[in-house]
């Protein structure tokens, strides 16, 4: 979990002190609102799947999350990680200039959908 805290602080520092482009906070378009909703929904599905992995440590092992959660995460760490990730994602999207915001949102959604599809293919469920 220590690596997670360091990563969160590094991202926050980039957002807060990254210069004028990092604090653009341009007006959001309807498309960007929908893209952020899609990204957060994908993150939510990944969150639920990772909770399922934590609930069945003998059946699955966690390989994602950049190794932050470890192979056998517990639910409280999973919840903290994904709640923080969702908040950071929304904050970064808000701070990015409009031209880059959509790339951030689409890139996240694409990567997470691929990961959750792989999880689903091996039987990982997503239920609270």
Instruction: Return the exposure string of 106-121: e unless at least 16 CB atoms fall within 10 Å of the residue's CB, then b.
Output: eebbeebbebbeebee
Q: What is the per-residue pLDDT for 88?
A: 93
119: CB partners within 8 A, 6+ apart: 46, 49, 53
Residue 51 lies in a domain: yes
d(CA 7, CA 5): 5
Residue 92 lies in a domain: yes
Q: What is the per-residue pLDDT for 92?
A: 94
Residue 26 lies in a domain: yes
Residue 22 lies in a domain: yes
Residue 23 lies in a domain: yes
Residue 128 lies in a domain: no
Residue 127 lies in a domain: no
| Spans of the chain below 70 pLDDT | 1-24, 61-67, 128
Q: What is the per-residue pLDDT for 34?
A: 97
Q: What is the per-residue pLDDT for 69?
A: 74
Q: Scan for tokens 């939510």, then name that residue.
A: 44
CA angle at 101 for the pair 115 and 10, rounded to the nearest 5°: 70
Q: What is the per-residue pLDDT for 125?
A: 84
- How many domains is the chain built from? 1
Q: What is the per-residue pLDDT for 104?
A: 97
For the whole model, what pTM was predicted?
0.77
Residue 20 lies in a domain: yes
Query: What number of other Cβ atoms are within 10 A of residue 36's Cβ?
Result: 21
Domain holding 18, by residue range, is: 2-121
């Amino acid at each position: 979990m220590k690596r997670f805290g360091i990563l969160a602080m590094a991202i926050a520092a980039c957002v807060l002190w990254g210069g004028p482009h990092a604090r653009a906070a341009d007006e959001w378009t309807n498309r960007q609102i929908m893209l952020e909703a899609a990204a957060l929904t994908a993150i939510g599905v990944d969150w639920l799947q990772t909770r399922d992995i934590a609930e069945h440590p003998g059946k699955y092992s966690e390989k994602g999350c950049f190794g932050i959660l470890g192979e056998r995460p517990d639910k409280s760490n999973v919840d903290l990680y994904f709640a923080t990730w969702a908040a950071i994602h929304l904050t970064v999207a808000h701070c990015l200039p409009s031209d880059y915001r959509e790339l951030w949102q689409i890139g996240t959604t694409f990567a997470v959908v691929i990961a959750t599809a792989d999880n689903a293919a091996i039987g990982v469920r997503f239920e609270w």
